[in-house]
């Protein structure tokens, strides 16, 4: 079986204090985009993953499925690596979904969600359709009714090397980034309640974990919202018109790799 594994952007990411389990409390708005990998999977004697030698998440997710056999997986990569776009998490969710469909007795949606949460905090999102509000450590999801009629310009800066996600959160703790968490969450929920048109997304609060001057460059070129996705380094800009997104991509190509895509509802 073959399935699409779309990337995501975080339209908002509000981060709070470290929890007892070592993870951080957060509230985030997940949005799929129509840029993705392709995952092919079939039963095999043992589990092998080709196409992406650095994979660990797909194998971990499939091992948790406890199938009576292994899996032969091939990943056709298109989502940039370690960019904050969730490519590995999407691959894992897609592999879980496709493998589950090939089992004699499929796991329930609730069971798949639990297995996905063990594989990674972003993985469950990719099992659900449409934009989602992620809370807790990001694995508790609530569907959102958000406009989808806009264009997305993704930009990864030249020479960008993402530090580990753990180190990004450590830096957040050192600067006492959790201060005012409840107020920022309230502001996010208030802003979401007012969203009717794409440009209303501009009122969502900025990413708590990472900032980039490239977001200002995107806004200068017509993006009605621009921010870092996840822990970065990918930056996105939202545009009303594809022509404006294409023009911005041409002007900013000297600063990094660019992709123009659109929102996606499901994998």
Catalytic residue annotation: 8, 122
Number of CB atoms found within 10 A of residue 165's CB: 15
Look at residues 47, 209, 198 and name the one whose alpha carbon lies nearest to residue 131. Answer: 198
Give the three-class secondary structure for 87. helix
Look at residues 90, 102, 125 and name the one whose alpha carbon lies nearest to residue 4. Answer: 90
Farthest-apart Cα atoms in the chain, separation: 55
16 in Cβ contact with 177 (< 8 Å):
no
What is the full DSSP assignment across 106-163? PPPHHHHHHHHHHH-TTTGGGGS-S-EEEETTTTEEEE-------EEEEEEETT--PP
Helix ranges (H only) for the chain are: 57-65, 87-101, 109-119, 165-174, 181-193, 213-220, 242-252
As given in the structure block, the two tokens for residue 153 are 């310009």
Give the three-class secondary structure for 173. helix
Tallying the residues shown for the chain, one arrives at 267
Q: What is the DSSP letter of 246?
A: H
């Amino acid at each position: 079986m073959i399935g699409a594994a779309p990337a995501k952007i975080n339209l908002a990411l509000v981060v709070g204090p470290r929890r007892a389990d070592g993870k951080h409390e957060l509230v985030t708005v997940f949005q799929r985009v129509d840029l993705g990998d392709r995952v092919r999977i079939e039963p095999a004697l043992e589990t092998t993953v080709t196409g992406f030698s650095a994979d660990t998440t797909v194998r971990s997710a499939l091992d948790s499925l406890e199938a009576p056999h292994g899996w032969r997986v091939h990943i056709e990569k298109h989502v940039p690596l370690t960019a904050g776009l969730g490519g590995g998490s999407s691959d894992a969710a897609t592999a879980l979904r496709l493998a589950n469909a090939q089992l004699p007795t499929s796991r329930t949606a609730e069971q798949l969600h639990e297995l996905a949460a063990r594989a990674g905090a972003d993985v469950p999102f990719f099992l659900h359709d449409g934009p989602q509000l992620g809370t807790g450590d990001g694995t508790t999801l609530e569907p959102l009714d958000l406009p989808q009629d806009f264009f997305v310009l993704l930009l990864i800066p030249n020479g960008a090397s993402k530090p580990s996600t753990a180190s990004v959160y450590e830096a957040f703790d050192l600067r006492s980034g959790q201060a005012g968490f409840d107020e920022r969450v309230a502001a996010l929920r208030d802003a979401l309640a007012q969203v009717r048109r794409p440009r209303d997304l501009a009122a969502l609060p900025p990413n708590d974990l990472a900032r980039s001057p490239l977001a200002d460059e995107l806004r200068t070129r017509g993006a009605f919202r621009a921010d870092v996705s996840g822990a970065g380094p990918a930056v996105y800009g939202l545009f009303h018109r594809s022509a404006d997104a294409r023009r911005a991509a041409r002007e900013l190509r000297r600063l990094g790799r660019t992709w123009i895509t659109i929102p996606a509802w499901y994998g």
